[in-house]
Structure formats: C-alpha cells, structure tokens
Amino acid sequence: MSAGFGAQPLMAARQQTFASREKRKMSKLVNASLVIGALAAAIFSNPALAQQSGTPLLAITTPVVNLVDENHVSLASGKLELSLPLLKFGDVEFEVHAVNGYLWQSHLADNNSGKIIACGGVPNLGSSTTVYAETSECSATSPSITFQAVYGEQRSSFDFSSGVWVPESANGETLTGPTNGYCTWTRRDGTQIIYYDTTGSNGPSCESQNIAKIIYPDGRVADYYYYGAISSAPSTSGNPILSISTSDGYLLQYNYSGTPVVNAETSVTAINRAFQACDPTVSCNTTGWPTATLGWTNKPISPPEYYFNDPSYNGSYHYVLTATSSKQEKYVMEMDSIWRVISYQPPGATQPKYTYTLCTQYPPTGYVYSLQNCFGYTSWDFSAPEEQNQVQQYFIDEVQDITREGVHGGHAPETDLNFSYPAWVRYYHRVTNPSGTTEALEGNQSPNMWNAAGYGGPIMYFTDKDGTNYTFGQGVANRLQSVSTSGIVTSYGYDNWGDVTSETITPNSGTGTITHSAIYPGNCTASTMVTCTKPTSVTDGNNKTTYFTYDPTHGGVLTETDPAVNGITPQKRYTYVQRYPWYLNSAGNMTRETRPVWLLNTESYCRTSAPAASGTGCTAANDEVVTTYDYGPDSGPNNLLIRGQTVTSAGVTRRSCDGHDKYGNKIWEQAPNANASSCPAY
C-alpha cells in the first residue's frame, strides 16, 4: 500500500477521433473566466474566497460561452457532455462525468482523476494505410513530441522542444520535470498539479497515471493516497485511489467492493478530520458523513449488439448506472454494450428524460464498414481516399438524434461537412431545441491545419440560441475574438500569455467605440504564475486607470488604487496572515498542521481622505475603516472557517460572529450590536 499523492487516470477512449478529442477541451465552456465587475465583487464579499482568488475587483474578461445545448450535447464535438455533481464538502468534492459520451463501470472518470499522456500523431489523410481508430485521447498538432496533462475535465497540451515543454495554447501554463520522480503542471492561477513520473517510450519522461499532490496558491495541499505501490514503469491504468486528504482537515474516501480496482469505486465519503480521526491509508468509519453511491446493473437485450470483433465487449447486455448524491438526488444513465450513454434520467424524473441515438460502426467485411444512425451514410469503402476522410473519423459516436420525454427533440447536430481532401475538413453542427431556438457551430477538424492562415481553429464561430454570434481566432489557442449581439460588436485583444489586454465595444449606431485596456506583467514562469496573469492596471472607456499590486507568494491583491476623485486617490488595502489548521491525526490526537494557509486578514480604506504614504492609515485622523476577519483560535478543532469579523471606524469597533457545525453549515449568527468580545469556536 502506498501513502502518497496522486489521482487515477481517465478511461482510455475507444476509437475517439483526433479532432473530437481536441475539440472536447472546448466543448463545455469557452474562456470560462470571471465576468467583469459583478462576479469579482461577489468574490470579495466572501473573504474565504478572496484570499484564494487574488482577482482584482475590476478586470477585463471574456464572457463564458456555453457550447453544450439543453440536451447535454456539445456543439463542438457532437457528443454527449454530462457531469454529475454528487458530493461537495469543505475542500473536497466528487463529480462523475462522461468522456465523449462514454461511461465505463470499471473506468469511471471523475473530477479528481489525473494523468499525463503522450498524444498520438496526426493521421496522414492521404494514406490508404492510415489507422483512424486511435486509442490515445489526444493528438499532436505539430511534429514535436506532445503530452497532455489531465486533471478531471481540465486539459492542457505541451510540445517538447529544445529541452523544454511549451504550452500549445500559449496560455502561460508550464509543465516541468521530471524532477526527483515528479512532473508538475502549473496552471494559470498558480495551482501546481504534481504527478508521479513514469518512464515512457514516447520520447521524454513525464508520462503518468497518478497525481501525487496538488498545491494551491494559498498554501493548501491535497495529498493523494493509493492502493498498491506506485511503479515508475509505464502503466495503462495506474493505482486505485484510497483517499484524498487536504491540509485544512477534509478527507475524501473512495470505497470499493472487495479489493480496490482502478476507477471502480462503489461509493465516496467526505469526512471532516477535525471531528473524526481517519488514517488516509485505510478505510475509515463513514457513519454520519455525506456519501455518494454508485450502483450498477446489467440489462439483458435481444437481439445482441455486435459493434466490434472484440471479446471484451458483451453484446447481450446494456449497463445501467444509478448515481445517488450525498443529498439523495438520483441520476440514472443507461449505456449500450460498448459503454456509450444512450439515456439519461436526471434527479426528480421517474423515467429517462433524454434518449440518444448515436452514430454506430459495425464490424467490417473486407474494406466495407456498415453504419447505423450516421446522418444518412450507410457504408463506406475504406480503400477509397475520399471516403477515408468521411464517416469513420468524423461521425462515430456523435449524437444523431434525441427523444426528450418521449417527444422527438429535433436534434440535428451534424448537418454538413465540407471536405477538402486530403488536407483538412470543416464541420458544421446545428441543433434545433424543443423551444424552437437554434444553435450552430462551425470549426476545423484537422489539427495540422489549425495554424495555417485562413483555416481557423477547432472552433471558427458559434451562434447561440438568442442569436449572439461568437467568432474565434486561428490556431490551437482558439481564443474568443469577437461577440456580436443586437448589432453591438465587442472584440478582444490578447498578449502572448492569453491575458485579455483590450475590449473594444462598437455600438450598433456605428458612431464611436468604447475601449477598455489592461496591462499584465507577462513573462510567465512556474514561479511567477500566481501574479503574471493578473492585471497591474485596467483603464476604462473614460481613460480612467485603476492600479493593482499583488503578493508574490500567493497572488492575493495587496492594493487597488482607483482614479482620483476631487483630488483624492481612493485606495483599498488588503493584508494576509498565515494560519495553521487543527485536526485529529491518525492516532486520534488533535494536531496542528505543519503547512500553513494564507488567509485574508484585513481590508481597509479611507472614508474621506487620501491614503497615507506610509502604506497604512489615512492622511486624516480616524478616517480609516478596517475590517478584520476572525478564523478562531490557534487550537483545534479548526478548519479555518471564518468565525466572524470586526469593523473599526472612527474609533468604534463592532464584531459579528458566525457559528458552524462539523459539516461546515452555518447554524447561527451574532449581530454586531451584541458587543461580543470574541467569537466562540464552532
């Protein structure tokens, strides 16, 4: 048994095409960042999140673009994109998701799984010997060696060039290693996902099937524990997760029926170690703690389905998953004999609400393959180059049609393919929703053409149900370039690290434009990631500039200096403090964690005067308003939840308090007028 860190790999995708695998990276949400102003302000209304995000109150961000229709089908891939939020407790959560429409009983994909995989090469579409049924989950878009780092549904591809890993999407992220047996993926917010390195055969090391640990910018650490020893040799499956334990006292325990098997957990339980001792290397008592369960049944079918000449698939059965959340919400999905989701019953329904008809490949006879439910195609000749470009690569497993609550859903996701043999293929997906609205997306399926001028990227444009049109830039980065709605066009500019540096709004009258701009530090490296993707200044449409400074250790905002008003320059100041969680160790003793966490300590501003040049206080006496946050005593139990806050203004201090139970629920509050001298524990 290995005590350490890491997460389980996602299942190996069965005959997934190279283009659909790359498109999947953008098939749910595109440019999912904070919305300007409102959401950022909401973050700072919750100090527990404020110290973690370090996001300024003002930022230029692109809108969130949802590419999944109301039937849970991605317009980018044409395949089912479905996630089941089953458990969330403290810093741990468990969510199951379908990968390109697949859900395997013995290879269940969840949000905690992670790996680094070597990507396959781009097929030569002009070769009659091309093997299209690749088994890897990603493909290289350049002749360089390409690896893809995976954590749950988050993915990032890196090319190995001149001894370093270079992110394909040019987003500032880094992949480093192997160093002392580990490889590290540093994400844009500074989060480090550290993997066990295994010796691979596809070029340099950094292949992995297990995450070792995750280090967040605020100092929190998630440690992973496995069943079995971690091997340095290449593995196709990795090790089964036993538990994930966070440094602020939360633990996610994976439960199995019998000997643990990779991704075959039957339930997952969240435990607060501040109130129950638990050894993360063994199974602990789960009584009374929130638990998500996974139940599987075989459903006999007749006549049998035979899609492949593969003995590992049993064509006589379908498979049904009943996933019950910690809140007793039931999600029911039926998979066909090759584990593709064909129906979905969400919580509250008593029967499937969505039934999916999928494009299916039958075993070949010679060079002729038979198809079913494949957009009018019935067969193709694998020996003919023009046919190689078609169905097998671009149709298999896509959703052909949907029945919704017994009524035809009007789904027609694949209505046109524009083939330009042998180099590239454009595709066009469209869906007509039951409400009568239409969504459409066009893109390029050929990774080797994404960087060619005029050919666009994986997504070229997307038209939402309300008529809003989104256009995307060329290349693998595929960034949002413009949004057009009601005649108003908003365009975006970026720096070399993917930061939004400008937002230009052109009114429908065509008279004048409004431009917002931002400046970033740039030069992103693993050590500067917590600050390099955050703006040092933002200038609004009236040419008024707000300036920001950040803590270089955890990335939290230190100062926000706003434009002058009546000769006074307002400034908000933030300070941080390191605190240590307390929880029960494996022996049941209340113990102080050795790894501190950065927390927001104070927020301050001056009511009527300018801030003092010293960095604290104001130029006028008794003019500063200071809010100080209380995380409880340096003793246990203590998960570092906010116990209360004090506000000091004009020499008067008022304290408010909140109480929580062991599940983290707020169960009482004490108003400032109670004049409490301190906030009691839990």
pLDDT digits (tens, 9 = 90+) for 277-295: 999 999 999 999 999 999 9
| 87 and 200 inside one domain | yes
**Final residue of a domain: which of 469, 485, 501?**
485
Per-residue pLDDT at 123: 42
Q: Tell me: do 206 and 294 sit in the same domain.
A: yes
- Taking alpha carbons only, the member of 2, 547, 506 closest to residue 229 is 2
> Is the domain of 150 the same as that of 42?
yes
Q: What is the pLDDT of residue 451?
A: 57
Higher pLDDT, 415 or 310: 310
* Least confident interval from 59-68, 323-332, 584-593: 59-68
Per-residue pLDDT at 267: 97
- The answer to whether residues 238 and 12 touch, using CB atoms and an 8 Å cutoff, is no
274 found inside a domain:
yes
Please give the Cα distance from 666 to 658 (Å, whole number): 7
Q: What is the total count of domains within the chain?
A: 2
- Print the domain residue range for 568: 564-682
571 and 454 in a common domain? no
Residue 541 covered by a domain: no
Per-residue pLDDT for 109 more than 50? yes
* pLDDT score of 61: 87
* pLDDT band with cut points at 50, 70 and 90 for residue 205: confident
In a shared domain, residues 436 and 570: no
pLDDT digits (tens, 9 = 90+) for 410-467: 444 444 444 444 445 677 787 777 677 888 888 876 665 665 555 667 888 999 989 9
Q: Is 606 helix (H, G, I), strand (E, B) or coil?
A: strand
Q: How many residues does this entry show for the chain? A: 682
Assigned domain for 456 exists? yes
**218-246 average pLDDT score:** 89
> Which pLDDT does position 417 carry in this prediction?
47
Q: Is residue 524 part of a domain?
A: no
Please state which of the ranges 60-64, 146-150, 361-365 shows the lowest mean pLDDT: 361-365
Most confident of the ranges 162-176, 421-435, 611-625: 611-625
Q: What is the mean pLDDT of residues 603-632?
A: 94
What is the distance between the alpha carbons of residues 161 and 170, in angstroms, rounded to a whole number? Answer: 14
For residue 269, give every residue at least 6 positions away whose Cβ sits within 8 Å of its Cβ, in sequence order, or none.
252, 253, 255, 286, 289, 290, 291, 292
Query: Does the pLDDT value for residue 376 go beyond 60?
Result: yes
Q: Return the bridge partners of 331, or none.
A: 323
Buried-state track 188-209, b at ≥16 Cβ within 10 A, e below 16: bbbbbbbbbbbebebeebbbbb
Of the candidates 215, 269, 221, the residue with the CA atom closest to the CA atom of residue 241: 269
pLDDT per residue as tens digits for the range 12-66: 222 233 333 334 434 455 543 322 222 222 222 233 333 334 455 567 888 889 8
- Within 353-437, strands assigned E span 354-358, 360-361, 368-374, 377-381, 399-404, 407-408, 414-420, 424-432
CA–CA separation, 504 vs 490, rounded Å?
A: 5
pLDDT (mean) for 607-628: 94
Residues 297 and 392 in one domain: yes
Is 344 in contact with 68 (CB distance < 8 Å)? no
Residue at which a domain ends, from 459, 485, 511: 485
Mean pLDDT value across the chain: 81
pLDDT of residue 332 exceeding 90: yes
- Residue that is written with structure tokens 């070792």 in the block: 212
| 467 and 583, same domain (yes or no) | no
What integer pLDDT is reported at residue 372 of this predicted model? 72
Same domain, 593 and 475: no
pLDDT band at 374 (very low <50, low <70, confident <90, very high): confident
